[in-house]
Amino acid sequence: MNDYPQSRRSLVRDFLAMTALGAIGSLRSARAAVSEDVLGGADITVPDFKGRVIGRGSDNYELWRQSMVWHDSKPDRYPAVIVRATDREDVRAAIAYARRNGMKVSVRSGGHNSTGSSLRDDSLVIDLSALTEIRIDAHNGIASIEPGVRSSQLLYAAQKKGFSFPVPHCDSVGMSGFLMGGGIGWNYPQHGGVSTFSIVGAEVITAEGEILEVSATQNPDLYWTVRGVGPGFFGVVTRLDLSLYPHPDAVLASSYIFRLDDLQEAVKILDKIRKTPGVHERVEVLGVLMENPHAPAELPPRERKIFFLTAFAFEESEAAAEKILRLFADSPLRELAVQHMEFQSYDFGDLYAAYFSLEDSAGRMARYAVDNVFTDRGSDVLVALAEHVRDAPAKDCHILAVWGMKLARRADACFSGLGDCYVGCYAIWDGEENDRSNFDWLRGAIPKMDPYATGHYVNEVEGRGNPQRYRQCYSSANWNRLEKLRADYDPQGVFHSYLGHS
């Protein structure tokens, strides 16, 4: 059924490698009254802490500080101490130490947040990346993961037991940051739109160092918080329990490449196909406005842009997947496209390399910034941004649309996104000297996207220059409840809130 040679796959990779769901940082947080001993310390001892401790005076401090953030624009923010926890008792010991020494606490798991939110001036950073245990309860279909687990680690562990989970599209993204902010994962349309709704339990360590079990029936306020709070939690999550899903036996993808001039026509056809019963509920549809990596070198940048559309079907058989993708193949999309690659069959795990490989251009240690909208008018947002993408200051800058999310607010989650589509604007570039033009470009997208917004995704907002962006990710009621819970659970403000909010 898949009669496309490997070279077609590399072609897909060349296109999709130009994209990423990620971003960068430079907002300074308020200085805490930290003791000078700690600030200058090389050989800091954190009582009862078994893991690595790096003080600001340690030889390798700068290396450790930079390694907290995945991309290349390392925020100009300097923690007092970085500690790498080996278990939950280490987390408690670190919190107790921070409190005794007047430091605020920040948390790092996979380090992928675009704003580098774990790096705060004079704070104690608890690095959870060494906590990577995964337990699968196959009988109940639950995975219990430690916070340092990455996307591919969970995917493969679940796959071995016949399950899947809507994990991030790039293999190295941290599961806990992803899940706690919302999480747009592979096969999201069949699994609730965002992965945070698949959290069924958690273990949380509070500012007081208490270890709390969290679920719909135990500490439900914290359960509500963990499901959507993003990079502003007032505690540390040391375990997440996740509902697993049946592993799809067949994964097929069909990709279409259009001239940017044909975008309006292409999304019109797409919107019609998506109204067909079954498509909206089952098919993951991603569209990218981007530079054509194979455009002739002599073409000016404005004329190198394309619309790259892919539909993924995750089904119990290839026949079922092919049937649903036929709707795309038999539509005028094929005729309109300048190139198409249909019914390509993948092992679930191959999707990372084929569609969001971090070994390619967008995965290099580039500089990142991102902002976004949730919307019911994804196609209109793309059309509104078409001219903007032509003017992108760097070749890897792109706009990503993710259709079929069906987001609705739930009483048991603070996640507040609404709408059918996520549209993210990604600036990806090299060289500090190009920061200004790229941030300006990103900022320029906001007035074009925001008129269509039904909300914003907290994991991918550019909150550094605009702290209000975090507030805009929540309904008023949910934001007020979050702030009330913050005051209740962390009255002394031990934990950092969102960037720019303390």
Ligand X SMILES: Cc1cc2nc3c(=O)[nH]c(=O)nc-3n(C[C@H](O)[C@H](O)[C@H](O)COP(=O)(O)OP(=O)(O)OC[C@H]3O[C@@H](n4cnc5c(N)ncnc54)[C@H](O)[C@@H]3O)c2cc1C
What are the residues binding ligand X (CB under 6 A)? 20-22, 70, 106-114, 117-118, 128, 147, 168-170, 173-174, 176-178, 180-181, 183-184, 231, 233, 236-237, 459-460
The nearest distance, CB 18 to ligand X, in angstroms, is 13
> How far apart are alpha carbons 358 and 93 in whole angstroms?
35
What DSSP string runs through 170-183? STTSBHHHHHHH--
Min CB(307)–ligand X separation in Å:
20
Shortest distance (Å) from residue 355 CB to ligand X: 10
Query: How many whole angstroms separate alpha carbon 128 and alpha carbon 83?
Result: 9
Amino acid letter at 13? R
Tokens for 157, please give them: 């562990």
Residue 147 vs 293, nearer CB to ligand X? 147
CB 396 within 8 A of CB 460: no
Q: Residue 181 Cβ, how far from ligand X at the closest point, in Å?
A: 5
The residue (of 191 and 340) whose beta carbon lies closer to ligand X is: 191
Laid out side by side, the sheet with 105-108 consists of: 52-55, 81-84, 124-127, 105-108
Shortest distance (Å) from residue 418 CB to ligand X: 16
Nearest to ligand X of 229, 306 (CB atom): 229
What is the rounded radius of gyration, in angstroms, for the C-alpha atoms of the chain? 22
Pair of tokens at residue 66: 């930079």
* Residue 121 CB partners (closer than 8 Å, separation 6+): 28, 29, 30, 31, 77, 78, 79
Rounded least distance, CB 405 to ligand X, Å: 11
CA dist 11 → 18, 246, 339, 491 (Å): 12, 30, 11, 54
Closest of 228, 251, 117, 218 to residue 180, by C-alpha: 228
User: Residue 16 or 333: which CB sits closer to ligand X?
Assistant: 16
Q: Are 251 and 317 in contact (CB under 8 A)?
A: no
205 near 194, Cβ under 8 Å? no
Provide, rounded to whole angstroms, the least separation between the CB of residue 388 and ligand X: 21
Q: Whole-number minimum distance, CB 24 to ligand X, in Å?
A: 9
Q: Which is nearer to ligand X, 340 or 471 (CB)?
A: 471
Q: Which tokens hold the place of 184?
A: 């747009």
Nearer to ligand X, 107 or 263 (CB): 107
Min separation Cβ 170 and ligand X, Å: 4
Residue 53 near residue 60 (C-beta atoms within 8 A): no
Two structure tokens written together for 113: 């947040």
The maximal CA–CA distance of the chain, rounded, in angstroms, is 70
Helix (H) or strand (E) holding 202: strand 199-205
Q: Which is nearer to ligand X, 226 or 325 (CB)?
A: 226
Nearer to ligand X, 73 or 478 (CB): 73
Query: What is the number of the residue whose Cβ is closest to ligand X?
Result: 177
Q: Which is nearer to ligand X, 112 or 471 (CB)?
A: 112
Residues pairing with 3 in the sheet: none
Closer to ligand X at the Cβ: 87 or 318? 87
Distance (Å, rounded) from C-alpha 41 to C-alpha 54? 9
Q: How many CB atoms lie within 10 A of CB 162?
A: 12
Q: Which is nearer to ligand X, 328 or 368 (CB)?
A: 368
The answer to whether the CB of 386 falls within 8 A of the CB of 267 is: no
Measured CA to CA in angstroms, residue 242 lies from 146, 176, 186, 198, 360 at distances of 11, 11, 15, 6, 31
Is the Cβ of residue 29 or residue 273 nearer to ligand X in the bound state? 29
Question: In angstroms, what is the minimal distance from the CB of 265 to ligand X?
Answer: 28
Residue 179 beta carbon to ligand X: minimum distance, rounded to whole angstroms: 8
Strands 81-84 and 124-127: parallel
CB of 309 to ligand X, least distance (A): 17
CB of 226 to ligand X, least distance (A): 8
Asked if 2 and 343 count as a contact pair (C-beta separation under 8 A), the reply is yes
Closer by beta carbon to ligand X, 352 or else 452: 352
Question: What is the sign of the dihedral through the CA atoms of 460, 438, 287 and 348?
Answer: negative
Give the whole-angstrom CA distance, residue 189 versus residue 441.
31
Cα–Cα distance, 238 to 152 (Å, whole number): 19
